[in-house]
Structure 1
Amino acid sequence: MKKILFLCMSFPPMMTEGASRAFKFASCLPSLGWEPVVIGLHSVSGPEIEQVPFEIYYAGKEYSTREVDAGKLFRIVHGLSEKKFSVRGFSGSNGLGSVEKNWLKKAKSLARKALDENPDIEMIYAQAPSFAPNRLEKTIMHSGHCVTMPSRELKELFLRKYQGEIFHDDISIVKNGYDPEALQLCGAEEEQGGLMRWVFHVDRVDRGNDLKRFFSALSSLVSAQPAVRGVFSFAFTGSGSRDVRRYAKKYGLEDLIEADAVWSYRHELELWMGADIICLVLGSAEGNGVFIPERLFDTPGMQASIAGIVPDGLSKQCILDVGGRTVPIDQSEAIAGFLQESFTLWRSRQLPVVREAATESYHIRSTMQDFIREVAVRLPVA
């Protein structure tokens, strides 16, 4: 079997952007005649951790669920600082943070080792960070290697940004998709009659504005209809959910939150599959208009009701395309009305679910066809 080397700082157990996409590629490749060899970041061990059927070298730290609490694990796997409420990320527009620098140094050594031990590696999948510093981004775009992006809109964005420097054939599109086998393994929690389960996936939010507006709207709905306290069940996922408990307590909603910090894909998927409604809460900052959280692409395989409290842009369009509903993130009163409408639709059993066409379009087999086609184009003819 041919082998492919994955150089992925974002790879499970990490839950940073790019991890889900890379894991799905690696998991599906063996059935197509390719064996993945992965160099990831941190490892997490424990009885709750599922084993993967391929080799992974870790270039970061080792953690154990027996020794690290859920809150710290949450910050680790989401790439946040171990100091509460602080984002680690990149240090500047032209430089990498210490975690990224350390990973690159060790990953380089591990890559040489992997190539020496696996002379049948024919292809390298190198993952760029979601927020690459300008210098690194330029290096990647001018490298001459195949660059793949998950959407036509992103491709067009980079073609405009590097107009005259890179061209149409320099960027390929390999869209994201859901893996039905992974969803079947998770399964949904047992339905509790009379309980409306909401899952809010919170990403790239500003604590001072976006979360304040969101919780203000949520609080006004609960205050206007006190009876919903016995009906609503809230769970929060995504890196932005690190501040949720603090805001929920401030607005008197803490008793409605059912799930603690979510630090594994398995737990996250289980919550999503058991939800009556899945709602993306995406911040209003500039740049979020071209961002779609990877987890959103799992929803077409769940037959769930999808909603979004989002700015104009790709996430909004994606949600509408699959049959969901949206409301602007910067309008508190509109958010409150939207939440009320969602409750009314649920109570009358009229919440819309994902369109059948989207279920077929976002299936992982379609994604893997695109991926393998790109691999075939790049490999020399034997």
Structure 2
Amino acid sequence: MQKKKVLMLAYQFPPMGGAGVQRTLKFAKYLPQFGWEPIIYTVDHKKGVNDPTLSNEVKHIRIIRTKSHDLTHWKKPFHILGKFLSRKLLIPDGEWLWYRKNRRSILEYVKEIQPDVIYSTSYPYSDHLLGLYVKKHYKEIPWVVDFRDEWTKNPYILDMNYSSYRRKIEQKMEADVVANCDYFITNSPFMLEGFMEDYDLKDKSIVIPNGYDVSDFEGLEVEITKREKLTITYAGSMYGRRKPDYFLKALNRAIEDKIVDEKDIRLQFVGDFSKQNIEKISGMLGNKNIVKFYPYMEHKKSIECLLNSDVLLLIVGNGVGDKNFYTGKIFEYINTQKTIFGLVPKDGAAAMVIEETKTGYVVDSSEVDKIATCIGDIYSRWKQGTLEVQPNYEAIRQYDRVNLTKQLSKVFDRVSQG
């Protein structure tokens, strides 16, 4: 039986590394199991964080690579000007030029491929502008939009303090995308609720969360014996409201109050951290020789690092809109059977996942006293050898990437059948 075709518009795609590529990568990897042939329309990524190992997962898939037109890739010292122009002038994001320069190209590929469905995913939001452009020229082709993050209500965008003029432009763009798409996907129920406050999505929306890929956990080297130090690992990026300040204050307090022994603690940060972040974290810990920073790792290596930890630190901001976020790493965290220390909004998406899967602690990210108390409890249990969690495996399995891709395929089936 011949597979149906879906053209996936995704600026962020391997060999680009980072959390942003994982969702589309795993969908593309598993869609053929459910009768769909994915064709990826993306960029020829050469600069920034790369993870070539991810490309091995989609060798069998056709990938169309185009020039990125990224101003931040200008040569030094002009890249500073490029960053300024990209952030201040291009709306809705720095990838607007990619959308603008590839409008003719995408229509030619649509004519050649004749896809049964168009799929666009954000961030960047320019992916959806490209999808909207296709939809206006090929109204008969169903268009599915996938929001990995909110747009105009995104707390990180709200913190940018953009002008009211720019906000109105982006609100108009968002409204056009929502009005013209055939189906609307978000990755958390809280996010969908936010969109439904502004738009009528009752009969054309679904929540498909992020997840974990079982194959990413295979063939890894994992220590079996107890580690000499309580190893606490944070994996992922750190920006905006997502910062470890309150955790570090609480850890300092727990050490100074002799709730924990400094010599028993190892704190690890794994990811693409700026020099400024590294210096700030090190400075907050003073003379304590307990922290180590690891640069961005290949995806499976980062999971191996999680499996060789005792506690996995998860941080989500505590401002307006932050409760809507999971962070991508949480789903790999829950499949490690390690204790998650979630400094997250108690009534938010991340807390919901930790609690339903029974995989760790949830503490408001700004409550230093409670964080310090939890650090003491974790330390005591580690010393006693009773730190293991008792997960709800059935709840965890619902976040398997294969199951999530099956849900996406059903959306494609539905819209393509009219």
Give yes or no for TM over 0.5.
Answer: yes
Aligned equivalent of 1:184: 218
Aligned equivalent of 1:269: 303
Are the structure 2 counterparts of residues 152 and 7 from structure 1 closer, same or farther at C-alpha, using a change threshold of 3 Å? same
Which residue of 248, 252, 277 corresponds with 1:219?
Answer: 252
Aligned equivalent of 2:385: 349
1:102 aligns with 2:97: yes
Are the structure 2 counterparts of residues 333 and 41 from structure 1 closer, same or farther at C-alpha, using a change threshold of 3 Å? farther
Are the structure 2 counterparts of residues 334 and 61 from structure 1 closer, same or farther at C-alpha, using a change threshold of 3 Å? same
Report the secondary structure of 2:95's partner residue. helix
1:13 CA displacement? 4.0
Are the structure 2 counterparts of residues 376 and 370 from structure 1 closer, same or farther at C-alpha, using a change threshold of 3 Å? same
Is this contact kept in 2: 1:221–1:336, CA < 8 A? Answer: yes
Which residue of 321, 344, 368 corresponds with 1:332?
Answer: 368
Which amino acid in the other structure matches residue 34 of structure 1?
A: W
| Coordinate RMSD, CA, aligned | 3.5
Aligned equivalent of 2:113: 118
Which amino acid in the other structure matches residue 142 of structure 1?
A: A
Aligned equivalent of 2:122: 128
Distance 2:187 2:397 in 1: 17
Q: Give the unaligned 5+ runs of structure 1.
A: 64-74, 77-81
Is this contact kept in 2: 1:44–1:62, CA < 8 A? Answer: no
Which amino acid in the other structure matches residue 250 of structure 2?
A: A
Distance 1:44 1:160 in 2: 40
Which residue of 297, 305, 312 corresponds with 2:339?
Answer: 305
TM-score normalised according to structure 1 size: 0.79
Aligned equivalent of 2:269: 236
Aligned equivalent of 2:40: 38
Is this contact kept in 1: 2:182–2:415, CA < 8 A? Answer: no
Are the structure 2 counterparts of residues 109 and 336 from structure 1 closer, same or farther at C-alpha, using a change threshold of 3 Å? farther
Q: What are the Cα deviations for residues 190-209 of structure 1, in whole angstroms up to 9, with x where unaligned?
A: 456323221124666557x9
Which amino acid in the other structure matches residue 178 of structure 2?
A: M
Distance 2:35 2:311 in 1: 38
Q: What are the Cα deviations for residues 219-240 of structure 1, in whole angstroms up to 9, with x where unaligned?
A: 2334444984443322224677
Are the structure 2 counterparts of residues 149 and 334 from structure 1 closer, same or farther at C-alpha, using a change threshold of 3 Å? same
Q: What are the Cα deviations for residues 266-325 of structure 1, in whole angstroms up to 9, with x where unaligned?
A: 343232232211121112221111111122122333222222011232212222221121
Distance 1:288 1:231 in 2: 33
Distance 1:108 1:266 in 2: 36
Aligned equivalent of 1:318: 353
1:122 CA displacement? 1.9
1:4 CA displacement? 1.7
Q: How does 1:68-87 map to 2 (within 5 A)?
A: none
Q: What are the Cα deviations for residues 148-198 of structure 1, in whole angstroms up to 9, with x where unaligned?
A: 122333222221222xxx14112122233221112215x244456323221
Which amino acid in the other structure matches residue 232 of structure 2?
A: W
Aligned equivalent of 1:56: 63
Distance 1:161 1:204 in 2: 30
Q: How does 1:246-261 map to 2 (within 5 A)?
A: 246-250=279-283, 251-252=285-286, 255-261=289-295
When structure 1 is superposed on structure 2, of 105-114 and 141-150 the one drifting more is 105-114
Distance 1:88 1:266 in 2: 35
Are the structure 2 counterparts of residues 62 and 306 from structure 1 closer, same or farther at C-alpha, using a change threshold of 3 Å? farther
Report the secondary structure of 1:124's partner residue. strand
Distance 2:84 2:304 in 1: 26
Aligned equivalent of 2:234: 200
Q: What are the Cα deviations for residues 219-263 of structure 1, in whole angstroms up to 9, with x where unaligned?
A: 233444498444332222467777541123212267433342225
1:22 CA displacement? 1.1
Is this contact kept in 2: 1:281–1:308, CA < 8 A? Answer: yes
Is this contact kept in 2: 1:178–1:297, CA < 8 A? Answer: yes
Distance 1:253 1:118 in 2: 60
1:127 CA displacement? 0.9
Higher CA-based Rg: 2
Aligned equivalent of 1:70: none
Number of equivalenced pairs:
355
Report the secondary structure of 1:338's partner residue. helix
